[in-house]
Amino acid sequence: MSTKAKTFQELIDGDQAVLVDFFATWCGPCKMMQPILEDTSKQMGDKVKIVKVDVDKNQLAASKFQVRGVPTLILFQKGKILWRESGVVPAHQLVNTLKSTIKE
């Protein structure tokens, strides 16, 4: 049984909510988001998939979604943007936002 890697577009068009972390390796606040995202992933389980996108390596995606600063978090579900925020988001605030925003 083979699992084909989904494209970014297929991923964000899916039924599962996808939180995309647009980041850069040189960005200090981006590094601060890493443990927050790990904690959020544990708390949210399979309700949300968290994907990291390096804006320096994926300039097209960053441009398409008008990412002007990093980190920028964008929550997608069924191809629609449900929420977006730039800057460091505290774990409790992020989890609360995801729980109240994601459509089951």
**Sign of CA pseudo-dihedral 3, 62, 44, 91:** positive
Catalytic residue among 11, 14, 24, 27: 27
Residue 27 contacts residue 70 (beta carbons within 8 Å): yes
Number of alpha carbons in the 13 Å side-chain half-sphere of residue 28: 0
- Tokens for 5, please give them: 């890697």
Catalytic residue among 30, 48, 67, 73: 30
- Tokens for 36, please give them: 């927050």
Does the annotation count 27 as an active-site position? yes
Does the annotation count 9 as an active-site position? no
From the list 23, 25, 36, the residue with the least C-alpha distance to 92 is 36
Catalytic residues: 27, 30
